[in-house]
Amino acid sequence: MKVLVVGAGNIGTTLANVLLAHRRVLGLDQVLVQKVREPAPFDAPDLDELERRGARVVRATTPGAVADLFGSVGYVFDCRKDGAAVRDRGRYLDLASVRAASAQGSEAGFGVPFVGGVNPGAVIGARLVQIASCNTHATATLLTALGGPDLAQLEEADLVCVRRCEDLGGRERLVGASVVSRHRDADHGTHHAADAARVFATLGLAPGVTSSDVTTPSQLMHAVRFNVRLRTARPAAEIAADLAAHPRLATTAKFDSNRVFELGRRYGFQGRLYAHAVVVANDLMVSGRTVKGWAFVPQEGNTLLSTLEAFLLQTRPAEADAIARRLCAELITRRL
């Protein structure tokens, strides 16, 4: 299948590299990358390297090329932000050649909200899927790891997301002090818990989960402090073992995000970490039915495997689980 990555920014370029590296197992004939805006001179090395690795890069200034793209590709990975994918969702539905499409975190309303390993059944054969945000990935996966796949053991949960202000390569949202977010959702607080609730709603579940958010002057990793109340008490060792065994979580004994980030840069494909969250395993607080702890969140890296899994579930559902497990085993660094 020929696939198109729309947007050659932070997420789009990393996704394109993952697709190129695993194109055989994903069944891809060609990976196209559309640079939506006219490239600046400093974009050239990125685009040139993608072409060297086998992608066909279509620049916004290439005459006629963009108009022909959507008539030749079978799947679209829309990696734009600020509602761009939502504005084009009707276009994707109208194009007979495009079997399915996905959009990234901020594009609520684009399609079925999805977190890999949490609600795969909800997106089988779906035309449009919204890949949930990185912090929503961490939230939803931690809740299922502690409360069970159907959340049968979860009574309630509250999380505080400590956000970095900007991607390491960014320059637009740097802050000089801690900035808290407004609790805009009356039931869930910030969007992280609200988005996780929408993911669980596709399973017919309605967990009691709330979240808060503070942005800090860091460009490395988010972190999340979770406070979960279970329906029955469990031994601390059993909880720690479950977190360590979860196929989409990683664990660490480090308390410093700089050191965790460094290991991702050293050992992760493209310098990324792909686990949904990195649990600080030696800092859990278990008291009766209450479990508290910290986890680091690998930003956009933790959504990329879900993006690949969504593609498989939308286009090759019979093979999706086996291929997703293989990719998780290859890409997720389990101990940091």
Nearest CA among 89, 68, 93 for reference residue 80: 89
pLDDT recorded at residue 64: 55
Mean pLDDT computed over every residue of the chain: 89
Looking at the fold, whether 193 and 316 belong to one and the same domain comes out as: no
Predicted confidence band of residue 170 (pLDDT cuts 50, 70, 90): low
Instruction: Give CA–CA dist 12/300, Å, rounded.
Output: 10
Residue 108, classed as helix, strand or coil, is coil
pLDDT in tens, 112-147: 999 999 999 999 999 999 999 988 999 999 999 999
Looking at the fold, whether 31 and 172 belong to one and the same domain comes out as: no
Residue 336 lies in a domain: no
The pTM assigned to this predicted structure is: 0.91
Looking at the fold, whether 145 and 260 belong to one and the same domain comes out as: yes
Looking at the fold, whether 138 and 285 belong to one and the same domain comes out as: yes
Residue 44, classed as helix, strand or coil, is helix
Nearest-5° Cα angle at 134, 129 to 138: 110
Looking at the fold, whether 148 and 280 belong to one and the same domain comes out as: yes
Domain count for the chain:
2
Instruction: Determine contact, residues 264/274, Cβ cutoff 8 Å.
Output: no
Instruction: Give CA–CA dist 198/139, Å, rounded.
Output: 12
pLDDT at 60 exceeding the cut of 70 = no
Top mean-pLDDT range of 87-91, 227-231, 254-258:
227-231
pLDDT at 185 exceeding the cut of 90 = no
pLDDT recorded at residue 62: 57
Looking at the fold, whether 196 and 288 belong to one and the same domain comes out as: yes
Range of the domain at 207: 134-301
Looking at the fold, whether 169 and 69 belong to one and the same domain comes out as: no
Looking at the fold, whether 153 and 261 belong to one and the same domain comes out as: yes
pLDDT at 166 exceeding the cut of 70 = no
Buried b (16+ CB within 10 A) or exposed e, 117-127: bbbbebbeebe
pLDDT in tens, 203-246: 999 999 999 988 877 767 889 999 999 999 999 999 999 999 99
For 72-152, strand residue ranges (E) read: 75-78, 100-103, 112-114, 128-131
